[in-house]
């Protein structure tokens, strides 16, 4: 029998509770849910970093950012480091990367000759390059979200060549007056859904599946959607599927931010674009916003549009599942769906992402199905993106190097109920050194310290306050608990504010 195939599906900025399978009462994610129904749903899965590139490099290497070196956006991953896609390729798999990879900085200079930089795509003939790249035999790149996706990459080149009239439709001004004045990244996109990058990504993935169905070797594919990352600008019909007035309101507890580190009293400007040009004064990673100056109507529209983007991804996943079924490969393919990190979406009075390691940012969905995985398995163990390389290699019977993670196959098989007592996360700032923070998460607690600002700290009782709305760190009664968890960090993740890898751009 042909060896099993593997498809890794990744969303960008999708929080754990975004899916109907994880309890969202608004979502209708029947296709992503179907992956979990066919196999396992992980209910306490976390990323060790709430920023795109560090998390994505962890998914590929199984290493914490301090060990793989991609410690913040704007830094490149070392291609010599062992990663999942290299392991698959060396084992005889045909490998393909489709969509957003983000292993290199968008703003790297032309001299670096990096295919995921904007400068690379200014060279004549760049659209003819398709790899190899980080273990992928070939890639089809989408770079950036919404209107940024038309600047560089294979999708941008395809769009300009085949549908040049659509390029300007990505701009917010084309939204027919739908752009919100108090949050300029909310609008209704007039881009035809069938020409949107979400559709283009799944079209390329299906082409690859159909080609591989006629070939003897197994395949491994990374299918990576840029959404539901802001801007909140899905095309029709998805921008109109969910009515803003029917959206659940963000969860905010009066006075909660006053108990948090002082930097949360500030925020990005909602009227500015969440991007940085070369040479512009740096703004902190994630472009964290306070929602004080955003109207309830605009915020509800952003939430509705987020659900629309997720629905579009779910429909794309349905097409992918159907292509596997039509090719006769569905039952012999492992399918994994997750996200690089989450989105605050108004909770705590905050939007987007940033330095605070809230559960809305660190906890992400994970569903996995494939040969030998019992349908309907629900797992409550603490798991992490550092575990994915070791687990996938184990499921496929591949050799893998040592990583920072744990092989989850015994957990999936039901041989064990838990794999660890603590999860770890670490945030390295772009601009302000005192925002460097480290977190430890257990089933009962989340503790965060700021080594460069010892007066700051975060402690949450996850039984009484599962979505982290009341910081207990200022209360003397919980000092012993904070000290115990601080000691765990001292043993397991000593402070390392500096990571020796060169910054090549803002992101």
3-class DSSP assignment, residue 420: coil
Residue 237 pLDDT grade (very low, low, confident, very high; cuts 50, 70, 90) = very high
The HSE-up count of residue 132 (CA atoms within 13 Å, CB side) is: 11
- Whether the per-residue pLDDT at 309 is higher than 80: the answer is yes
Residue in 318, 324, 364 with CA at minimum distance from that of residue 341: 364
DSSP for 127-141, written as a single string: GG----BTTBSEEEE
Q: Which pLDDT score is estimated for 500?
A: 87
Q: Which pLDDT score is estimated for 268?
A: 66
Average pLDDT rounded to a whole number, residues 396-401: 92
Q: What is the pTM of this model?
A: 0.96
- Whether the per-residue pLDDT at 507 is higher than 90: the answer is no
Residue 275 pLDDT grade (very low, low, confident, very high; cuts 50, 70, 90) = low
What is the chain's mean pLDDT, rounded?
A: 95
**Strand bridging mode 219-224 / 94-99:** parallel
The structure tokens listed for 40 are 């396992």
Which residues lie across from 350 on neighbouring strands? 290
Residue 265 pLDDT grade (very low, low, confident, very high; cuts 50, 70, 90) = confident
Q: Which pLDDT score is estimated for 58?
A: 98
Q: Which pLDDT score is estimated for 367?
A: 98
Give the integer Cα–Cα distance in Å for 115 and 134. Answer: 11
3-class DSSP assignment, residue 88: helix
The structure tokens listed for 268 are 């990005």
Q: Percent of the chain having pLDDT more than 90?
A: 92
Domain range 27-421, its CATH number among 1.10.1530.10, 3.40.50.720, 3.40.720.10, 3.40.50.2020: 3.40.720.10
Tens digit of each residue's pLDDT (9 = 90 or more) over 327-357: 999 999 999 999 999 999 999 999 999 999 9
Average pLDDT rounded to a whole number, residues 100-119: 96
Tens digit of each residue's pLDDT (9 = 90 or more) over 70-105: 999 999 999 999 999 999 999 999 999 999 999 999
**Strand bridging mode 445-449 / 40-42:** unpaired
Q: Bigger pLDDT: 44 or 266?
A: 44
Residue 163 pLDDT grade (very low, low, confident, very high; cuts 50, 70, 90) = very high
Q: Which pLDDT score is estimated for 283?
A: 80
Do you know the residue count of the chain? 507
Residue 506 pLDDT grade (very low, low, confident, very high; cuts 50, 70, 90) = confident
Residue 280 pLDDT grade (very low, low, confident, very high; cuts 50, 70, 90) = low
Which residues lie across from 289 on neighbouring strands? 351
Report which secondary-structure segment, H or E, holds 206.
helix 197-212
- Listed in sequence order, the residues at least 6 apart from 124 whose beta carbon sits closer than 8 Å to its beta carbon are none
236 by Cβ neighbours in 10 Å (0-12 / 13-18 / 19+) ranks as middle
Tens digit of each residue's pLDDT (9 = 90 or more) over 165-202: 999 999 999 998 899 999 999 999 999 999 999 999 99
Average pLDDT rounded to a whole number, residues 399-405: 93
∠ Cα 15 19 20 (to 5°)? 150
Q: Where are the domains of the chain?
A: 27-421
**Cβ distance 288 to 499 under 8 Å?**
no
How many helical (H) and strand (E) elements, i.e. helices and strands, does the chain have?
12, 16
- Whether the per-residue pLDDT at 217 is higher than 70: the answer is yes
Average pLDDT rounded to a whole number, residues 154-168: 98
Q: Which pLDDT score is estimated for 271?
A: 65
The structure tokens listed for 49 are 């970093």
Q: Which pLDDT score is estimated for 272?
A: 65
Give the integer Cα–Cα distance in Å for 299 and 296. Answer: 5
- Listed in sequence order, the residues at least 6 apart from 338 whose beta carbon sits closer than 8 Å to its beta carbon are 9, 10, 11, 45, 59, 364, 365, 366, 367, 385, 388
3-class DSSP assignment, residue 83: coil
Q: Which pLDDT score is estimated for 230?
A: 96
Average pLDDT rounded to a whole number, residues 485-501: 96
């Amino acid at each position: 029998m042909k060896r099993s195939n593997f498809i890794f599906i990744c969303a960008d900025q999708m929080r754990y509770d975004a899916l109907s399978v994880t309890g969202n009462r608004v979502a209708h994610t029947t296709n992503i849910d179907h992956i979990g129904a066919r196999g396992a749903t992980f209910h306490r899965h976390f990323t060790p970093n709430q920023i795109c590139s560090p998390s994505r490099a962890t998914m590929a290497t199984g290493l914490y950012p301090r060990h793989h070196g991609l410690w913040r956006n704007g830094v490149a991953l070392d291609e010599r480091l062992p990663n999942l896609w290299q392991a698959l390729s060396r084992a005889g798999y045909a490998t393909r990367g489709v969509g957003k990879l983000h292993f290199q900085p968008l703003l790297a200079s032309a001299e670096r000759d990096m295919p995921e930089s904007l400068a690379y795509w200014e060279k004549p003939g760049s659209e003819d390059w398709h790899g190899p790249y980080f273990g992928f035999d070939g890639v089809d790149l989408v770079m950036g979200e919404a209107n940024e996706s038309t600047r560089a990459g294979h999708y941008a080149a395809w769009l300009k060549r085949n549908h040049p009239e659509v390029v300007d439709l990505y701009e917010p001004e084309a939204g027919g007056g739908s752009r919100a004045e108090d949050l300029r990244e909310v609008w209704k996109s007039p881009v035809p859904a069938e020409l949107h990058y979400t559709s283009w990504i799944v079209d390329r993935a299906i082409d690859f599946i159909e080609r591989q169905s006629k070939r003897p070797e197994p395949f491994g594919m990374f299918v990576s959607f840029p959404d539901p990352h802001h801007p909140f600008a899905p095309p029709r019909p998805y921008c109109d599927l969910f009515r803003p007035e029917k959206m659940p309101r963000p969860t905010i507890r009066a006075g909660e931010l006053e108990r948090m580190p002082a930097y949360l009293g500030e925020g990005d400007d909602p009227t500015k674009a969440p991007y940085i040009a070369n040479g512009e004064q740096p703004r902190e990673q994630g472009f964290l916003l306070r929602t004080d100056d955003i109207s309830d109507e605009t915020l509800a529209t952003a939430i509705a549009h987020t659900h629309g983007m997720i629905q579009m991804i779910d429909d794309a996943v349905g097409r992918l599942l159907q292509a596997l079924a039509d090719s006769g490969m569905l039952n012999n393919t492992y399918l994994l769906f997750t996200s690089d990190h989450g989105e605050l979406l108004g909770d705590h009075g905050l939007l987007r992402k940033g330095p605070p390691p809230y559960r809305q940012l660190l906890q992400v969905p994970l569903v996995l199905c494939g040969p030998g995985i019992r349908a309907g398995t629900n797992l409550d163990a603490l798991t992490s993106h550092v575990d994915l390389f070791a687990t996938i290699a184990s499921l496929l019977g591949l050799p893998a190097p040592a990583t920072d993670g744990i092989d989850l196959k015994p957990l999936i098989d039901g041989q064990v109920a838990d794999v660890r007592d603590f999860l770890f996360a670490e945030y390295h700032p772009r601009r302000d050194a005192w925002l460097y923070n480290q977190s430890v998460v257990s089933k009962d607690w989340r503790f965060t310290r700021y080594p460069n600002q010892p007066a700051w700290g975060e402690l949450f009782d996850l039984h009484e306050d599962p979505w982290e709305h009341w910081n207990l760190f200022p209360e003397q009664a919980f000092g012993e608990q904070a000290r115990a968890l601080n000691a765990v960090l001292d043993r397991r993740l000593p402070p390392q504010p500096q990571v020796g890898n060169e910054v090549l751009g803002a992101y």
